[in-house]
Amino acid sequence: MKIEVIPCDMPLKVTPRRFPNQGVIEIKLPEEIVDDLWKLIEESKKEPYEINEQLAGNISSSLKLDKDSPLLDDFNQKVIPALINVSIKEFGSVLRHSYKSLHLSLSLESLWVNFQNKHEFNPPHNHSGVYSFVIWMQIPTSFEEQSKLPIAAKSNTGGMISNFAFQYTDILGRVSINAYEMEKSTKGFMVLFPSNLTHQVFPFYENDGERISISGNLTL
């Protein structure tokens, strides 16, 4: 069937409409906050509380962190409110509460640190709570280098090896993936996202280093 294009001389006003949707908030944490988080990790190693059985990850170790530690004062009182403020202003509340009531009622529910070695991974999963976050503390690999390994070099997936990725269904019903390319410079980078947003961590290879990340959930 041939499609005929008919010219139109009428003045037309065409208006694009973008559908509302949720998004994520990114921040490079100040060095003093990162330093306090490292101290918190070291404290967790003194009396390790393994929580692997509570999590989805197929990784070496996940330790509970003290969410009430004074080391988190600036993080809880300055960083988290700032990120939630921006998220609500940009995307609206995930619970459709008023800005004021949601802001005042969110608190840190759980906090833990993940230690991931080569070949280990986190399958697609989501979290409990309202908002969740991930902070990359140490990245031993480079996605640019990982993507050149024989296992990934000829892949048609766009290169997921070693990366963290969000997975979601778009407005047309297609499953889409938005990945963060893991490089050594990613350390200290934090992403806040709705807790029910599916995400995953792909494995890395041919590197004996340890990937360390912190995750947490905010709830009402």
pLDDT per position as a tens digit, 150-209: 999 888 876 799 999 999 998 889 999 999 999 999 999 999 999 999 999 999 999 999
Average pLDDT, the chain: 89
What are the backbone angles phi and psi of residue 184, rounded to the nearest 5°?
A: -60, -30
Q: Please give the distance of CA 100 from its chain centroid, rounded to a whole number.
A: 25
CB atoms within 10 A of CB 124: 13
Give the model confidence (pLDDT) of 71-119 as tens digits. 999 999 999 999 998 998 888 888 765 445 555 578 899 999 999 999 9
pLDDT at 138 over 90: yes
pLDDT, mean of residues 10-17 = 75
3-state class (DSSP) for residue 140: coil
Please give the pLDDT value at position 99: 47
CATH number of 25-219: 2.60.120.620
What are the backbone angles phi and psi of residue 166, rounded to the nearest 5°?
A: -90, 145
